[in-house]
Chains A and B, each alone.
Chain A
């Protein structure tokens, strides 16, 4: 990238950041998420159309498919900004599916889907795991069988985020010739979508496939490439969720500092007591470490780096942000006193979103182990 392109991109990022902030101030707030808790699909389709108009669904989609052809640096701005007010729309989930699809510009199904996703007409989700661990494909995993003109998919994908309201799924499965990625429309016969309610009032799903017919045109890829593309999409997903966790941290820190400045006890604002002020500073340091790692992750991934480096920085970002967001939102509860323990008060919603995001795509402990394993391969 040349210097002019670079400074242009910085300028565009600043513009994007302003428009997201502006939207968050005027167009939405935490009460919307509160209202949509435990409903289906759990978000507002009208809001989704608005995101499409803003171009926020098109960020990662290549220009030749109706997208903006931008990178994680820009996607991060949108995700982090919206997560500050716990936006319920499944932006990160859909973006992960985009990350898988955009690797196949020549594929007919991908070139059909991508422009429609950018326009907000199609919502996609990625289905890849069948246990609660950070490893795809075990015994229950979906299997693709049958002849090319009559493929069928059987098996279960679990913890599929963004499944409700999705038009279809990019499903990672095992075929005779190795791993494969297929497109499964959500109205396919034989597909049962079982709701898994989540802590924050959102929803994940288990996809139970019983001989679901798969058009040969819907076979996206088969063989080693399927695994590589999945891993890339997951690494990108980890960083995107880390960015959302940064947004959650930002919203929670705002609540904490504002409470410490306004709540008066013993005749003083409680933020004047060192025990509380120092705790807030330690949380702030965690927030800053988190955003610094995400800065580095999006820059490194956008600049292009090898698979191992991508996975290492993605695990670093997901590990730090998961731990930091849980710590900040957990400590935020007692900092708000008994009020913090009520459902009525918003800080609990931040804790619950942090729980959901930190356990999605691997928690901190599993990412530290993944990092250690990746680090081991080359250096020792």
Chain B
């Protein structure tokens, strides 16, 4: 994007919040395909391509990127509004790693050449990034990863296996953590590397989720040669690079929007079925609604900290624990309310309400695992917030 184009767009940060909210909503409404809204799985490139390219072209793809790189350059407060509207409109998750992870990391640690090569291609959709962090023996204990990268002349030679790489079979590139020194403490021998998924020696095998969609993959590396200039940051500094994302990115996972959508569907269905005549059901529904309302109060406390320009501490992890487990409880009640229909996959029509009960249920299962399992989040809170001993 040229500088002239960048300045021709309004200064969204100077706008009133409500005005910006309307602007964001209007953009999503105009460009996001109606039949893709509220789909309870990660969408593939073929389905999302038109939307992604349009959003990138119009400068609406990367709320977190500075304007000079084609982003919206939003303040934390405006970014939250963007996120809220995105979720309110039911915009499905798709190839987001480029925008959310690779972009910010390159802006902080990348060389000028890396930035110029990769950043514009993320926004254009030419490069789609997959995340190569987890391995079969390195999940919650990520730092014990063993995929190795050995320097040979101008290249790293990579051997090993990555797993749970979302949409890798759809992606063009992978950013990964590799072991470059096994003689040091485990966090200190890791480097951050970028690789082209078309490189010889890479094999990708899709993995179907319990929801039946091939969203996840295994990626095998067999003597894969990666140019040395694809190293991001210093050699053996990969752990620091990967952990560098700003604390306010972590509030996103505590956002109430997706679970609120599930709660609204539950309410619609229960109403259509006359369940609000049943005090037993009303009690359970109210209890779960208040769990949501109170979560929103807690979430807003962190939003307020961000608005004031503050950094979020480790305690923000509690949002993820509470909202994901609440989301799961909502979908469990949805299954119960669906009666015999609960066993039927796909979009169901019950009493005039259309809802994909099982997809909603399955989708919520993943939430307590990704982004650090809830058990790991509890460890984090125990250690850093309650200061309990190890």
Contact = CB atoms under 8 A, between A and B. Distances in A.
Nearest to A372: B286
Interface string B373-390: 001001101100111111
Interface centre among B285, B290, B293, B301 (most CB of A within 10 A): B290
Contacts of B285: 372
Contact of A260 (B294, B297, B388): B388
A271 B283 contact: no
Interface in B119-158: none
A285 interface: yes
Given A293-B294, A320-B294, A280 B388 contact: yes
B282 interface: yes
A372 B282 contact: yes
Nearest to B321: A285
Interface residues of B, number: 28
Contacts of A368: 283, 286-287, 290
Nearest to B377: A281
A292 interface: yes
A113 interface: no
A172 interface: no
B286 A288 contact: no
Contacts of A365: 283
Contacts of A261: 387-389
Interface string A262-279: 000000110110100110
Contacts of A296: 297, 300
B45 interface: no
B290 to A, nearest CB: 6
B295 interface: yes
Nearest to B283: A368
Contact of A289 (B287, B294, B387): B294
A360 interface: no
A284 B318 contact: yes
B298 A289 contact: yes
A277 B301 contact: no
Contacts of B298: 288-289, 292
Interface in B297-323: 297-298, 300-301, 315, 318, 321-322
Nearest to B291: A289
A122 to B, nearest CB: 36
B283 A277 contact: no
Interface string A299-314: 0000000000000000
A87 to B, nearest CB: 25
The B interface, classified by DSSP as helix, strand, loop or mixed, is: helix
Contact of A281 (B297, B386, B389, B390): B386
A284 B388 contact: no
A371 interface: yes
Q: Which of B295, B318, B375 has the most CB of A within 10 A?
A: B318
A316 interface: yes
A369 B283 contact: yes
A282 B285 CA distance: 22
Contacts of B385: 284
B322 to A, nearest CB: 6
Interface in B248-301: 282-283, 285-287, 290, 293-295, 297-298, 300-301
B386 A289 contact: no
Contacts of B378: 274, 277-278, 281-282
A277 B385 CA distance: 11
A369 B387 CA distance: 38
B379 A289 contact: no
Contact of A272 (B283, B295, B389): B389
Contact of B290 (A257, A292, A316): A316
Contact of B379 (A274, A369, A372): A274
A292 B318 CA distance: 13
A320 B318 CA distance: 17
A260 B386 CA distance: 10
Contacts of B386: 257, 260, 271, 277, 280-281, 284
B297 A292 contact: yes
Interface string B344-387: 00000000000000000000000000000001001101100111
A329 B290 CA distance: 21
Contacts of A268: 389
Interface in A328-377: 365, 368-369, 371-372, 375
B381 A284 contact: yes
Interface string A167-198: 00000000000000000000000000000000
A364 to B, nearest CB: 9
Given A271-B388, A293-B294, A281 B301 contact: no
A316 B293 contact: yes
15 contacts: A260-B386, A271-B382, A272-B389, A277-B379, A278-B382, A281-B321, A281-B382, A284-B318, A288-B298, A292-B297, A292-B298, A292-B300, A295-B297, A295-B301, A296-B300
Interface of B: 282-283, 285-287, 290, 293-295, 297-298, 300-301, 315, 318, 321-322, 375, 378-379, 381-382, 385-390
Rank and list the top 5 A-B pairs by shortest CB-CB distance, nearest first.
A271-B388, A277-B382, A292-B298, A292-B297, A372-B286
Given A272-B388, A292-B300, A372-B286, 15 more contacts: A257-B386, A269-B389, A271-B389, A272-B389, A274-B378, A274-B379, A278-B379, A281-B318, A285-B322, A288-B318, A289-B298, A292-B298, A293-B297, A368-B290, A369-B282
